[in-house]
Amino acid sequence: MSQPTQPLKTVLTPFNIICGIILLIGGIITILRFTQGIGAVTNLDDNNPWGIWIGFDLLCGVALAAGGYVTCATCYIFGLKRFKCAVRPAILTAFLGYALVVLALGYDVGRPWRLPYPIFLSQGTSSVLFEVGLCVMLYLSVLFFEFIPAAFEWLDWKRARYIIGKVSMVLVIFGIILSTLHQSSLGALFLIAPSKLHPLWHSGYIAVYFFISSIFAGMSMVIFEHMVVDRFLHDRIDEEHDIESNNVALGFAKAAAFLMAGYLMIQVMGIAIDNDWKYLGTRWGLWFLFEMIGFVGLPAVVYAIGVREQNIKLIQWTSFWVVLGIVLNRLNISLVAFNWQLPLNLRYFPSWMEIMTTVFIVTLGIVIFKFIAIRMPILHEHPDYPDDH
């Protein structure tokens, strides 16, 4: 009598139940969004035309998906082959991250079938948004082709796998170039809003800030991702990947510590050049210092301690700290310190349906990642292609 209930127990796990509820609620909100309009599910208005779907889903999503180009550059451009085990998980995360960014844009902009319009029909090629849109479209395509070898190996399509392998280096180089362009351009987008963004976050060097922070964000996301995967999908990781992941954590943590120290220095230089010292004594200044010291300076020091002590657990938890810091930075720039001069009653705060939609999109990414990682050679080596992992 117990045999028929066994498959049901396998399906009705706490993870599946929670994800199922979130996806169901997200599906209902999606229907409301595209049938009743954006005003039915958001608190956006003329003063605040963008909200959490741009601040978190796009800006944070793109920054945290930077692990794809950072890992590829480390392994294939700089020749550090000991980091090769992190390439496929990082590419999968980046691919899903950018795909979900496009999905979130569909919610925010509406009429998702018109998303290609600026690329193919618009003449506004001098716009920063045009450059961002073009690069994201091209880079998402590149990530798809970088990911597809794993699918071909899973399907045992050897001929197709052989062909795509011949152009892999071209894809890597093209992807890195595109990433450096749009990571910085997302920061340059805020150059047009000096009267809206607080002076401590607005700077002529904001494009540089976005690019540098995306590098250590990507490194930290790769470390954090392995910690989560090791906890919940350990049976899918082979011994070689498990051992090499420690080298990845140590190497990326060391590089991230240097980059974060440099990031702090150029932030100070930016304040000095713009002569914004007077703002540091205000409440906004204290919030800025909380971000810079609490989520850049301190984790950089802890990263360095973790590398010196060879403490992988400390490095992994610090990577989560840095990921939170990147989220805080992007939300500060796009939401918290944006329209900072408006009275509180006119300031934006997301509705519960906006927040739930973001949770829905993140959950969708987690479910798809798990589905792929369980079935395809992402966390382990395919026996027929040992040199490609």
143-168: pLDDT as tens digits: 999 999 999 989 888 888 888 888 88
* pLDDT the model gives residue 233: 86
Whether 122 is covered by a domain: the verdict is: yes
Q: Is residue 2's pLDDT more than 50?
A: no
- Between CA 267 and CA 154 the distance in angstroms is 46
Q: Is residue 7's pLDDT more than 80?
A: no
Q: Is residue 4's pLDDT more than 50?
A: no
DSSP state letter for 281: G
Q: What's the mean pLDDT when you consider all of the chain?
A: 88
Contacts of 16 (CB under 8 A, 6+ apart): none
Whether 362 is covered by a domain: the verdict is: yes
* pLDDT the model gives residue 8: 56
* pLDDT the model gives residue 165: 81
371-to-54, 182, 365, 366, 375 alpha-carbon distances in Å? 27, 29, 10, 9, 7
Q: What is the pLDDT of residues 188-199, one digit of tens each?
A: 889 988 889 999
Structural domains counted in the chain: 1
CATH code, 343: 1.20.1630.10
With beta carbons less than 8 A apart as the criterion, state whether 208 and 270 touch.
Answer: no
Helices (H), 275-311: 283-292, 298-309
Whether 170 is covered by a domain: the verdict is: yes
Q: How far, rounded to the nearest angstrom, does the alpha carbon of residue 389 sit from its chain's CA centroid?
A: 23
* pLDDT the model gives residue 357: 95
73-to-6, 196, 248 alpha-carbon distances in Å? 46, 36, 14
Question: Which H or E element spans position 61?
Answer: helix 61-64
Maximum CA pair distance of the chain? 76
- Between CA 100 and CA 62 the distance in angstroms is 10
- Please name which of 113, 112, 109 lies closest in space to residue 38, comparing C-alpha atoms: 109
Rounded to an integer, the average pLDDT of 264-278 is: 94
* pLDDT the model gives residue 282: 94
pTM score, whole prediction: 0.90
Whether 271 is covered by a domain: the verdict is: yes
Whether 96 is covered by a domain: the verdict is: yes
Whether 173 is covered by a domain: the verdict is: yes
Whether 14 is covered by a domain: the verdict is: no
Domain holding 213, by residue range, is 47-381
Whether 351 is covered by a domain: the verdict is: yes
* Segment among 228-242, 283-297, 366-380 with least mean pLDDT: 228-242
